[in-house]
Chains A and B, each alone.
Chain A
Amino acid sequence: MNRETTTGTSVPFYRDERILQVLGQIAFVLGVFLFGYFIFHNMLVGLQKQGMTLGVSFLKGTSGFDIGETLVEYSRNATYLRAYLVGLLNTLLLSALGIVFATVFGVILGVARLSTNLLINRLAAFYLEVIRNLSLLVFLIFWYLGVFLKLPRVKQAIIWPGSIFLTNRGVGIPWGVPSGTFPTYRWILFLGLILTVGLGLVLNARGKRTGRPPMTLLWMLVTFFAVAVVGWLILPESPLMLELPYVKGLNLAGGKILSPEFMALLSGLVLYTAAFIGEVVRAGIQSVSRGQIEAARALGLNGFQTMRLVVFPQALRVIIPPLTSQYLNLTKNSSLAVAVGFPDVFYVSNTIINQSGRAVEMITLVMLTYLTFSLVTSFFMNWYNQKIKLVER
């Protein structure tokens, strides 16, 4: 509520502290506005000279270029928009796989760093120290040009147990080819998923009621796994037929062939990010004070229960925020795909710019895409922080 000061004298406006604040903001807005107008005007004039106007309708135009790796249907007759979508899906795939593998490896590194086995401990420490001081881009380029492209030719491929072929045209791994029964299997898996989620909710509710939380996650995993296995066996024909890669002429065929670009980028990102995740995990585990463990053991909880009920929940609180930040970094770093030639969303945008000349629109679009990733992550983090906040005075 604003009540006016009743004073005898009136204040000259140029010395009134309230007016000055408003004036300051007006001056600032004017400055920014003028600057922005100056830039925008120049841009429009420059574009006009090139015979272009701003707009997104060009996205419906034909792309005219090929993309090496696509998750969906694409040809050079498709639209620019489609090409962008292909790039976007590639980025999402790369980021998702990268996050999963980096987390696994990162957790291993973090735990290893705390191991009592001196050899393991020092190895992990050595690895972390080396990675921390690397420049990611240089590392990726070295990894790509110096390792994956230097693998032997297909005829002299290195073959690892399990039919994994390492060549300079890509890495071939065994893959499952869907058979006739695959659609049915998909339905079975879907039902399994619903069953698992339902089980999870039931277990959670029961845990709240009885005060003894069951190992919900474990039960959910077991159930889903059981459904997958049983469903596989009861079908007359295996839903996925195993296909092994083999040498065909100068190339690899069969199974799944992962391009050197993809492999270099994925493995490079994973190796790099895992180190930082390892540090985060280590710090999180160490943040739980010894006293907590001592108190839990004194109460009679065994080692496993101590971990699950006392250490982990507290460690997770400390780990999750920087962990999501690392995930976001991995997603942003995936844009370095442009240096190794993997068609992620940035690489594709670049090609679109080269073909259509629409630099302003495409760069804005790409930035908005990454910005969306960031904002989604931020919202998640804020939600998570609110939810798990320790209640304090």
Chain B
Amino acid sequence: MSQATDSLPPLTERFTVLGWLRKNLFNTWPNSLLSVLAILFVYWAGKGLLTWIFTVAEWNVVAVNLRLFMIGQYPADQAWRLWIGMYFLAFLIGNSLAIWAPHSRAWTISLFVLPILLAILPFSPIVRLEILGFSLLGAIGWFLGRSQLSGLRRIVVIGWIIFLPVFVLLIHGLTGENGSMPVVRTNVWGGLLLTFLLTVSGIFFSFPLGVLLALGRRSNLPIVRWFSIGYIELVRGVPLITILFMAQLMLPLFLPANITVDRVLRAMVGIIMFSAAYLAENVRGGLQAIPKGQFEAAHALGFGGAQTMLFIILPQALRLVIPILVGQFISLFKDTSLVAIVGLFDLLGIAKTVLAQPEFLGLQREVYAFISLIYWILSYVMSYLSQRLEVTLGVGQR
């Protein structure tokens, strides 16, 4: 008499914490030893760290000097201009998200939640409201983007292109002393503001330069090719700090004597030159991945060289390397800290100003730990968001 046998449930062990520990952490002698050492180490390091953070450290220095960290010695009464720039940015981001990545939850949540979290920090109440304004503008931009008005895309793209010049204009100012937007000299631009400016302008200008270099690297004209190779290999072979020093010390020499170059501008040029070389190599990788058939099809259809690049090749190549490029831009953000060595007062450089105040002498640990934390958080958040964006847009694959 045969009968169909039902599938039997598997034999299960009773799950206990002790059992799991025994199986995973203490199953062999070496493993057990390692586990014990690891636990001891975590306890020792954790205890020390937490004790310091919560009892010994004097976080007052951070709370009192928040404005210095954020915008350096930029005059407080002119800070409204920075807010306008930031609101413009929030508006653009909101719009862009709604148009191109409407389903990306991580980004949309960040746009609204992050500023709220930021407002928890001990800023003054007015500043807190201004921070929340960022979310508001982002929301306005987002809803506008969702409305699918015709021609909106074009406006947003133009908005992004003019963002940097407009922002610089806002920071720098137009008029004389008594006008509505007096000029603020670059030597008081500082803190996170300066870091932001250096990063954004670095990305903005190194991108076209890097693409040109990548194209030159692959050119059929030998002289163009050798020049591109030379530039790329030279810049990639030396540390960033040497390029920054070259920009600081030698740029004034390269220009006619009556032109003085602003120090912030010199640092920007150095960063742009550096970033362009690395970008060129990354874009070249993307170009190499495009099959020859694409070029042939374009030529057969009558496209000239420039048109082929613009409509067929570059869109595909850039799409392939966007993840790598984003990683490079995050590194660029961290590399801007080197301008502190050439005497600019970016987020890292402003530490000296903070520590020079008599009531905050000797608090290096707190100040530099705080600065490290800001860099770390921003870098982590940017990495995470870019990963989410990759998934949504499906980039990195053909």
Tell me the A residues contacting B by CB distance below 8 Å.
21, 24-25, 28-29, 32, 39, 42-43, 45-47, 49, 116-120, 123, 130, 133-139, 141-142, 145-147, 149-150, 332-333, 335-336, 338-339, 346, 350, 353, 359-360, 363, 366-367, 370-371, 373-375
Contacts and interface: CB of A to CB of B under 8 A. Distances in A.
Interface in B91-120: none
A135 B241 CA distance: 14
A137 B237 contact: no
Contact of B383 (A133, A371, A373): A133
B255 interface: yes
A363 B31 CA distance: 52
B265 interface: no
A373 B242 CA distance: 14
Contact of A346 (B241, B257, B372): B241
Given A46-B257, A146-B364, A335-B242, A359 B250 contact: yes
B127 to A, nearest CB: 24
Contact of B223 (A25, A46, A137, A370): A25
Interface in B204-235: 220-224, 227, 233-234
Contacts of B364: 142, 145-146, 149-150
B257 A42 contact: yes
Which of A49, A366, A367, A373 has the most CB atoms of chain B within a 10 A radius of its CB? A367
A135 B257 contact: no
Contacts of A370: 237-239, 242
A374 B338 contact: no
Interface string B174-194: 000000000000000000000
A339 B257 contact: no
Given A118-B25, A119-B38, A338 B238 contact: no
B379 interface: yes
A139 B371 CA distance: 9
B207 to A, nearest CB: 21
B34 A120 contact: yes
Given A42-B255, A332-B239, A134 B221 contact: no
A363 B222 contact: no
Given A150-B364, A346-B239, A133 B250 contact: no
B221 A28 contact: yes
Contacts of B368: 138, 141-142, 145-146
A134 B365 CA distance: 16
A158 B31 CA distance: 31
A136 B335 CA distance: 8
B253 interface: yes
Given A21-B221, A46-B253, A346-B241, A133 B39 contact: no
A39 B253 CA distance: 8
B35 A46 contact: no
A117 B375 CA distance: 31
B306 to A, nearest CB: 12
Given A119-B38, A338-B241, A359-B250, A42 B365 contact: no
A142 B369 CA distance: 7
Given A47-B253, A360-B250, A363-B249, A137 B337 contact: yes
Contacts of A150: 364-365
B348 interface: yes
Contacts of A360: 249-250, 253
B269 to A, nearest CB: 13
B337 A135 contact: yes
A92 to B, nearest CB: 15
B332 to A, nearest CB: 11
A353 to B, nearest CB: 7
B396 interface: no
B311 interface: no
Nearest to B37: A120
B250 A117 contact: no
A154 B348 CA distance: 30
A28 to B, nearest CB: 6
B365 A142 contact: yes
Contacts, number: 150
Contact of A25 (B38, B221, B351): B221
B334 interface: yes
Given A134-B372, A335-B239, A363 B25 contact: no
Q: Which 5 A-B pairs have the closest CB atoms?
A: A374-B237, A142-B368, A135-B334, A146-B365, A133-B379
Contacts of B340: 137, 339
Interface string B357-388: 00000001100110110011001100100000
Contacts of A373: 237
Contact of B237 (A142, A147, A371): A371
B147 interface: no
Contacts of A39: 254
**Residue among B245, B365, B369, B375 with max Cβ neighbours from chain A (10 Å):** B245
Nearest to A147: B365
B337 A138 contact: yes
Contacts of A145: 364-365, 368
Contacts of B371: 138, 142
B368 to A, nearest CB: 4
B372 A28 contact: no
Contacts of B379: 133-135
A138 B375 contact: yes
B236 interface: yes
A332 to B, nearest CB: 4
A332 B238 contact: yes
Interface in B63-82: none
B254 A117 contact: no
Contacts of B220: 21
Interface string B235-277: 0111101100110011011111100000000000000000000
B24 A367 contact: no
Contacts of A336: 239, 241, 338, 341
A142 B220 CA distance: 49
A146 B372 CA distance: 12
B24 A135 contact: no
A24 to B, nearest CB: 6
23 contacts: A28-B221, A32-B227, A42-B253, A42-B254, A43-B253, A46-B252, A117-B25, A120-B38, A134-B376, A135-B375, A137-B341, A138-B375, A146-B364, A146-B365, A335-B241, A336-B239, A336-B241, A339-B341, A353-B249, A360-B253, A363-B245, A363-B246, A370-B237
B42 interface: yes
A119 B35 contact: yes
Given A134-B379, A336-B341, A366-B238, 19 more contacts: A25-B221, A42-B256, A46-B252, A116-B24, A117-B34, A118-B25, A133-B379, A134-B375, A135-B375, A137-B348, A138-B337, A142-B364, A142-B365, A142-B371, A142-B372, A360-B249, A367-B238, A370-B237, A375-B233
A350 to B, nearest CB: 8
Contacts of B376: 130, 133-135
Contacts of A375: 233, 237
Contacts of B239: 332-333, 335-336, 346, 370
